[in-house]
Amino acid sequence: MGDENNPKKPHVLIFPYPAQGHINPILQFAKRLLSKGVKAALVTTVFLSNSSFSDPSSTSIDIHTISDGFDQGGYEQAGSSDAYLPTFWSVGPNSLAALIKKLGETGHPVDALVYDGFLPWALDVAKQFGIPSAVFFTQSCAVNSVYYHVSKGLLQLPLPVPHVSLPGLPSLQVSELPSFVARYGSYPAWFDVVVNQFSNVDGADWVFFNIFYDLEKEVVNWMSRFWNVMTVGPTIPSMYLDKRIENDKDYGMNLFKPNVDACMSWLGGKPKDSVLYVSFGSFASLGIEQTTELACALKSSNVYFLWVVRETEMAKLPYNFLEETSEKGLVVAWCPQLEVLSNEAVGCFLTHCGFNSTLEALSLGVPMLAMPQWTDQPTNAKHVEDVWRIGVRAHTNEKGVVRRETIERCIKELLTEVGEKGKEIRKNSIKWKNLAKKGIDEGGNSDKNIDEFIAKLL
């Protein structure tokens, strides 16, 4: 920990968009600051504070609350993004300003604000108080570069061409772009959120990305021409990387209760690299036809599998599937993903390629079978297969469904009949795992960037 006798500990407010996939990385960043002697405090909504952070011992960080306009039930209470986002955007700024004012009046003035890219109005609030600010992007540089080009009118939508070429990125087919761009008009409220991230970004003092420099150096270099870009990741609990933060084994926040004992004891007796771990994260939802195709592929592949199927999705499983696969498979409602990915029995991760999941698998050296669903996932999957070469994509048919034969072929390639390509993927996975650890370890690029940020606040 930092020097307790230091007369001035910088006080940094950390403000994520209130969803697990955004809170986890930025909360982990806050723990890094804390371990280096900074007073870091998390700002979350009244509802999340009461529901997901109800056990204060789960994280060592102070928690402050603001209102999103839905204090009783958060996003679910709003019922849709069209209702939630405009309300949060109108209530949030005043609520955040009141918090900063109150902290100042009670002897805890804020020295810097680190805010989620989804919440650009937080920068405007910080400016009112003359507080230096850093925007924190939870998605990849590649994805944010696409959104930036859209925001500046440099990518015309709907796209008139079948593929696009952007600085520092591989050529991307339309289907490999984030879905809000590829299927223009599909989710207008979310489209506005991702594009408006860049409405005032030029006013931020720092631009943080949840990656390590080597992962996307070309696009980082390009972005650094006009912003003060700092890579500060991967923001994964320290025990899985550099081990420099004591007892830092999990993020400290869970929307769902993981079946820890069931998962870990089941994995315990399995041979090395024999298990396929399957999870589509906390948000993505498979259709009944896709669920059936995946279930049939798992059954006929005859591999050990650990499949996370959220309670709300269980009814989509084929009749008798659990009974018929009980010898080989375990289906759970939620699991401790980092513990699972770091278990040597797991040889492959069938994933939706949400960026947190992708970064976790990459940092832990687990090859990926990519089945992207929407938002940034198609672009992440493209990088997994063609740029970082640490997995394969299971492509959809003309109806947008990945057939069981396709999934089976990918499972063979990565797990049961590993040929030259599979061996190369495993080798690359270990290479990236080592680079991820190096980036955040003492003297690594991300570590130096975090130190430089702190030095500016002293």
Q: Where are the domains of the chain?
A: 11-244+441-457, 260-436
| Residue tagged 């830092």 (tokens) | 248
Q: What pLDDT digit, counting tens, does each position of 200-241 carry?
A: 999 999 999 999 999 999 999 999 999 999 999 999 999 999
> What is the pTM assigned to this prediction?
0.95
CATH class of 11-244+441-457: alpha beta
Q: What pLDDT digit, counting tens, does each position of 241-259 carry?
A: 999 998 898 887 766 777 7
Contact 48, 70 (CB under 8 A): no
Strands (E) across 46-84 are located at 62-66
Q: Tell me, what's the pLDDT at 51?
A: 83
Residue 160, amino acid: P
**DSSP secondary structure of 314-379:** GGGSPTTHHHHTTTTEEEES---HHHHHTSTTEEEEEE---HHHHHHHHHHT--EEE---STTHHH
Asked if the domains 11-244+441-457 and 260-436 are classified in one and the same CATH topology, the answer is yes
Catalytic residue among 11, 64, 116, 376: 116
Which helix (H) or strand (E) covers residue 168, if one does? none
Q: Tell me, what's the pLDDT at 2?
A: 45
Express the helix, strand and coil content of the chain in percent, nearest 5 each: 45, 15, 40
Q: Catalytic residue at 22?
A: yes
Catalytic residue among 22, 149, 352, 383: 22
Q: Catalytic residue at 383?
A: no
Q: Which of 207, 237, 214 is nearest to 144 (CA)?
A: 207
Q: Tell me, what's the pLDDT at 8?
A: 78
Spatial CB neighbours of 81, under 8 Å, sequence gap ≥ 6: 187, 189, 190
CATH 3.30.70.1150, domain 260-436, yes or no: no
Contact 31, 60 (CB under 8 A): yes
Tens place of pLDDT per residue across the chain (458 aa): 444 555 679 999 999 999 989 999 999 999 999 999 999 999 999 999 888 765 555 567 899 999 999 999 999 999 999 999 999 999 999 999 999 999 999 999 999 999 999 999 999 999 999 999 999 999 999 999 999 999 999 999 999 999 999 999 999 999 999 999 999 999 999 999 999 999 999 999 999 999 999 999 999 999 999 999 999 999 999 999 999 998 898 887 766 777 788 999 999 989 999 999 999 988 888 999 999 999 999 999 999 999 999 999 999 999 999 999 999 999 999 999 999 999 999 999 999 999 999 999 999 999 999 999 999 999 999 999 999 999 999 999 999 999 999 999 999 999 999 999 999 999 999 999 999 999 999 999 999 999 999 999 99
